[in-house]
Structure 1
Amino acid sequence: MILIKIFKALGDETRLRIVRILKDGSFTVNEIIFIISGRQSNISHHLKILLDAEVVESKKEGSWIYYRLSAVFRSSVKDWIFTFLNNDISGVSDSIGDDRRVDVIYQKRKSIAMEYFSSIDDDDEKKLFSFMNSIFSSADIGSILSGKFDTIADIGCGNGRNLPVLAQYADCVIGVDSSARMLQFAEHICIENGLTYKLEVADITELPFMNNEIGGVLINMVLHHLAVPLVALKEVTRVLQPNGKLFLVEFLPHHNEGLRDTHADLWLGFTEDEISGWVKESGLDVLKTEIKEHQGYRILILIGQKPV
């Protein structure tokens, strides 16, 4: 019965375009209106049909509501539908224009964090990482690590506070951040601690590594800054070695909208199912999840592994 509802809902070009742009991410109504170039009443009508058919679902982020593909849709017909939608014979109009406008939204989101971390001064840097350390400290990071790696990368390493801990588990640590300013702080920490290290200015969605190059990856409190977390996790999967491990730490949903202003957060946390789903969809196995509470925030710890 659910498949009949889904296919009926997809019997409209505008709704197919909406589904297509939601493949990897989520958007507000206003963002969808911009991408599809439609009227609000028209887009809202189509979203209601897609919601009723369980093709999409809504997620409240503070005062904002985002729409994304539902778990039901992803687990049933997503792969088949997108094989069709990505084919030239699909007949969906203006897909190139839709993709271009999606990229405009993503670049706007990305610029929020970039501008914040690129302009941060010494005092704000200390305040930021004092806050982050109170939520999940370097000692906490050490408690979730295991194994020995030739290389382990801290992606979104910020000021490098966790690199000395990672160095206990790897021959070489790599700090990756999109902000050259942050890596200046990280280099000071690496030199001060006598680490064997590399630092790379790079976006998490375009990592400067070959396929299967990195033994382990830490992503600590990074996903909530990213325009499209799933795309980033797919890139991490690409660079991980077979049997390589992902150590991921992230906020579960919270209501502190002030973090958008004070720390350039895009998202107010994610559910365990969301994060686990992204990790699996990116091609990793989920080995373990654990939830801890620090300073009133619930934190998800996830360990993933790339299959051989």
Structure 2
Amino acid sequence: MAKETPQKISISDTPSSELSSNTPSITGLAALERLLKASADQLRLEILQVLQHDSFGVLELCNLFSIKQSAMSHHLKVLSNADLVTTRREGNAIFYRRALPGSGDNSRFISQLFASIDAEILSTDLQQAIDRAQKTRSELSLQFFSENSERFKAQQDLIVDIADYRDTVDEILDTLIAEPFPHRETKQAIEIGPGDGSYLANLSRRFNHVIALDNAEPMLQQCRKTAEQQGLSKVGFILGDTSTFIQLDSEIAKLSPSTHSGARKADCVVANMVLHHNAKPQNIIDDVAQLLAPNGVFVISELCQHDQDWVRDAAGDVWLGFSEALLDNWTSNSGLVKGPSSYTALRNGFRIQILSYIKKGLPVEAV
């Protein structure tokens, strides 16, 4: 008998008038006029600056800028009408992010506007407010995994099981790692957020050394247990996140600057159903770009964007999946190049995207 999915009832932080807004499409000089008027306000420029690398709900933005919701909603509507911001629904809540410039009449102007905004330094007060908001998101996620390590797999399996995408990840990895590294003596892989360690054996068969990286000690203990049961001797375990890993690499360089050449650089990084659990997934992508060796491969298995808000409580999700365009934009900004991709639809209505990205570098012979 099929188990009924619990539905979480919540109240949106976005006024209904915003949700039902149907602004007529305009082009030419009228569109340019609307764009110029929307950008001729310092607060709206600061909102666009804040939305450079993240999306926020109306109430979050109100807290960041210390203004009333009605005023913030007005500014967001002006920016939305000018195609400078776009929205994504997460359950009953609406989150705003900066629009991708696209290929419209004013795309070049929008790109230049964003570049000018990004060249300005974010104010200290705003940065501190953003840090507080991100800390709150991260603490909620970490609390979930610390309290639910024993039953996480069962909860996660309500949404997606690793068996649904394991073979596809293997296939993409085998395709990508065969060419760049045929003669390299040591091949290292990192799995970010390995869960209970279900994919470590697959990586161990393909790489000489595998590192399991997780910021929740109870989850890492589950991972160690799996590795011991499967006799995986080539796996190391690190408690922390991707920024921790970069700091470790820096410390190694300080201890041995003459011989250090990126001892922890990875030929492959895998993130299976990880990014939607993190407050700032784009920061993880930036870190991965630093961790990868030239021609290294980054494989992301993720949920496609959805509206099943109950997964927040059931599986500790922070994001309700991602659009491929958003992931492509983040990885491109980090200097990674798109590789093969695959997509799978599940019977429970969720869809999986397995995406790969490559850190283009020197030819293998020159590395």
TM-score by length of 1: 0.90
Q: Is 2:54 the partner of 1:16?
A: no
Of 70, 89, 96, the match for 2:99: 70
The percent of aligned pairs where both chains have the same amino acid is 29
Residue by residue over 1:201-246, the C-alpha shift from the partner in whole angstroms, topping out at 9 and shown as x without a partner, is 1123543453671110001111111112212111110111110000
Could you tell me which residue of structure 2 aligns to residue 103 of structure 1? Answer: 131
Contact 1:251 1:298 in 2 (8 A): yes
Of 198, 203, 208, the match for 1:161: 198
Contact 2:276 2:317 in 1 (8 A): yes
Distance 2:67 2:145 in 1: 35
Of 207, 223, 239, the match for 1:170: 207
Could you tell me which residue of structure 1 aligns to residue 189 of structure 2? Answer: 152
CA drift of 1:4 comes to 5.8
CA drift of 1:51 comes to 1.0
Could you tell me which residue of structure 1 aligns to residue 292 of structure 2? Answer: 240
Residue by residue over 1:265-287, the C-alpha shift from the partner in whole angstroms, topping out at 9 and shown as x without a partner, is 11111111111111111210001
Distance 1:265 1:200 in 2: 22
Distance 1:44 1:261 in 2: 28
Could you tell me which residue of structure 2 aligns to residue 86 of structure 1? Answer: 121
Distance 1:299 1:97 in 2: 39
Distance 1:110 1:52 in 2: 32
Structure 1 gaps, min length 5: 88-94
Bigger Rg, which one: 2
Could you tell me which residue of structure 2 aligns to residue 198 of structure 1? Answer: 236
Distance 2:124 2:62 in 1: 16
The 5-angstrom pairing of residues 1-308 of structure 1 reads: 5-72=34-101, 75-83=111-119, 85-86=120-121, 95-122=123-150, 124-128=151-155, 130-131=157-158, 132-133=160-161, 136-146=164-174, 147=177, 150-195=187-232, 196-208=234-246, 210=249, 213-295=265-347, 296-308=349-361
Distance 2:324 2:63 in 1: 30
CA drift of 1:191 comes to 2.1
Structure 2 gaps, min length 5: 1-28, 102-106, 182-186, 250-261, 362-367
Counterpart code for 1:298: R
Contact 1:141 1:165 in 2 (8 A): no
Greater mean alpha carbon deviation, residues 112-121 or residues 166-175:
112-121
Contact 1:153 1:175 in 2 (8 A): yes
SS at match of 2:299: strand
Counterpart code for 1:184: Q
Distance 1:121 1:216 in 2: 26
Contact 2:149 2:219 in 1 (8 A): no
Distance 1:183 1:151 in 2: 19
Residue by residue over 1:157-188, the C-alpha shift from the partner in whole angstroms, topping out at 9 and shown as x without a partner, is 11111101111110001101111111111111
Structure with greater strand percent: 1
SS at match of 1:38: coil
Distance 1:229 1:126 in 2: 21
TM-score by length of 2: 0.76
Counterpart code for 1:163: L
Aligned length: 299
Distance 2:114 2:32 in 1: 11
Contact 1:9 1:49 in 2 (8 A): yes
Distance 1:9 1:60 in 2: 23
Distance 2:244 2:124 in 1: 21
SS at match of 2:205: helix
**Change in 2 beyond 3 A, CA 1:134/1:153:** closer
Residue by residue over 1:101-140, the C-alpha shift from the partner in whole angstroms, topping out at 9 and shown as x without a partner, is 1111111111121001111253x13413544426735444
* CA RMSD after TM alignment: 2.1
**Change in 2 beyond 3 A, CA 1:274/1:170:** same
